[in-house]
Amino acid sequence: MNIGVLGTGMVGQTLSGKLASEGHEVVIGTRDVDRAIARTEPPRPGMQSFAAWHEENPEVRVGTFAEAAAHGEILVNATSGTGSLEALRAAGAQNLGDKILIDITNPLDFSRGAPPSLSVSNTDSLGEQIQRAFPEARVVKTLNTISAPVMVDPTGVGGGDHHIFVSGDDADAKAEVTRLLGEWFGWRARSVIDLGDITTARGAEMYVALWIRLMMGRGSPMFNIKIVW
Amino acid sequence: MNIGVLGTGMVGQTLSGKLASEGHEVVIGTRDVDRAIARTEPPRPGMQSFAAWHEENPEVRVGTFAEAAAHGEILVNATSGTGSLEALRAAGAQNLGDKILIDITNPLDFSRGAPPSLSVSNTDSLGEQIQRAFPEARVVKTLNTISAPVMVDPTGVGGGDHHIFVSGDDADAKAEVTRLLGEWFGWRARSVIDLGDITTARGAEMYVALWIRLMMGRGSPMFNIKIVW
């Protein structure tokens, strides 16, 4: 499958590498290809630089946001939350078309230091902003409630017995994303909870404020929540 | 133990009734005692009126916010989020003193209809506002992430294998509340996660935006989350 992944951070790297290793044709999109490939400093302590990652994952083609968006039958938005709308505008509405846009972003605002607050929340969400800016695209918010390694290997946490969410206005797109999460990463269909329309992305994004504190307390992002009843 | 519970809604009723049934001396506080006792309409469909509840729970004394606060060695804030600061001012800083104030409120704002948004979130929380307004009181935010019946009977959901949180600036107060949650309602100590200082109440309160959507999807508030790692 042709997949366009926007964003070269930890989420973009992890998903692109996993998808390419399964034989998908992946283009990872960035603002400035030459600059991205030349980037030898890690984005965060403990992570590898994009240059090092790129060398280890030569099967993932690096392109502009527009090239990645044009390439993909399915698109994954893994850009930083505060840069997402700009990245998607660079990708171009004509390249997004009415494709499924899997939106993994969180609107994290580090301008006041860590832990971050959210740049949009409560009465709006980044998922909604993206859907409003690109009304033809079929935005499905998902995976934003977990760390990248858990996204691509749910069984790595509690044997996979925990939940993620999908939010979006297009029921078929949510069903297709749920199917793809299973096919790509092994998510069981019963682990994927449909929260409702795209306004429910507020809940999924606001939960991240709790996730951050749990992560800080545990000293590890390798966890998730299970809904128990 | 002498316990003051502020608020006569579902949370106040459920906790007061449970605590009194275990032999504690409970005063439930409200703005206007006569009006509360005369209230024959249920606060929400499916709930009983305060008058009917009061008749079934005669061992819970009804008093003003100030009387309940003066009575309790430990105080429970179960008022509605938007009315909390006013209720606590009516209770009086001198009656709150340096007592432990278990804060169960959520700043739910229904002014735009349902589902509610939060009247404070992201860079502040109701827990913090209360702690700032009453700096001597030892505020511990907890139980706000679950429905009242689950608060007093954790085993009623998934055999009790799920988590709640405590947020607060006073480590001894959090430890004491964790102990009391076990003694009063059967919460296992390992089910109570200390998120950190009172600013972590933001995460616990913002999670409620997700909780509301999960509740709407399930059609029942009888669930909770378990942190899985």
Convert B140-181 into a string of H (helix), E (strand) and C (coil).
Answer: EEECCCCCHHHHHCHHHCHHHCCCEEEECCCHHHHHHHHHHH
Burial of B79: CB neighbours in 10 Å, binned 0-12, 13-18, 19+: buried
Chain B residues touching A198 at Cβ < 8 A: none
Task: Give the tens place of pLDDT for each residue, A99-157.
Answer: 999 999 999 999 999 999 999 999 999 999 999 999 999 999 999 999 999 999 999 99
Report the share of chain B in percent with pLDDT over 90: 96
Task: Give the tens place of pLDDT for each residue, B103-124.
Answer: 999 999 999 999 999 999 999 9
Question: Which among B121, B122, B229 has the least Cβ separation from residue A158?
Answer: B229
Task: Give the tens place of pLDDT for each residue, B127-153.
Answer: 999 999 999 999 999 999 999 999 999
Mean pLDDT of B198-209: 98
Task: Give the tens place of pLDDT for each residue, B51-98.
Answer: 999 999 999 999 999 999 999 999 999 999 999 999 999 999 999 999
Cβ contact, residue pair A224, B220, below 8 Å: no
Q: Is A179 on the interface with B (CB under 8 A)?
A: no
Exposure string for A184-201, b = 16+ CB within 10 A, e = fewer: bbebeeebbbbbbbbbbb
Please report the ipTM that was assigned to this predicted complex: 0.97
Determine the pLDDT at residue A43: 76
Nearest Cα of chain B lies from the Cα of A75 at a distance, in angstroms, of: 25
Nearest Cα of chain B lies from the Cα of A227 at a distance, in angstroms, of: 5
With cut-offs at 50, 70 and 90, classify the pLDDT of residue B48.
confident
With cut-offs at 50, 70 and 90, classify the pLDDT of residue A97.
very high
Mean pLDDT of A221-226: 98
pTM over 0.90: yes
Which of the residues B193, B210, B226 would you substitute to probe the A interface, choosing the one with the greatest number of A C-beta atoms within 10 Å? Answer: B210
Cβ contact, residue pair B121, A123, below 8 Å: no
Chain B residues touching A165 at Cβ < 8 A: 210
Chain B residues touching A81 at Cβ < 8 A: none
Determine the pLDDT at residue B46: 78
Determine the pLDDT at residue B137: 98
With cut-offs at 50, 70 and 90, classify the pLDDT of residue A42.
confident
Cβ contact, residue pair A112, B123, below 8 Å: yes
Nearest Cα of chain A lies from the Cα of B67 at a distance, in angstroms, of: 35
Question: Which among A117, A194, A213 has the least Cβ separation from residue B123?
Answer: A117
Mean pLDDT of A205-229: 97
**In chain A, where does DSSP find H-type helix?**
10-21, 33-37, 50-56, 65-71, 84-91, 93-96, 126-133, 148-152, 171-185, 201-218
For chain A, give the mean pLDDT: 97
Determine the pLDDT at residue B44: 76
Residue B203, pLDDT > 80, answer yes
* Tokens matching residue B111: 């002014």
- Residue pair A85/A111 in contact (Cβ under 8 Å)? The answer is no
Mean pLDDT of A87-104: 98
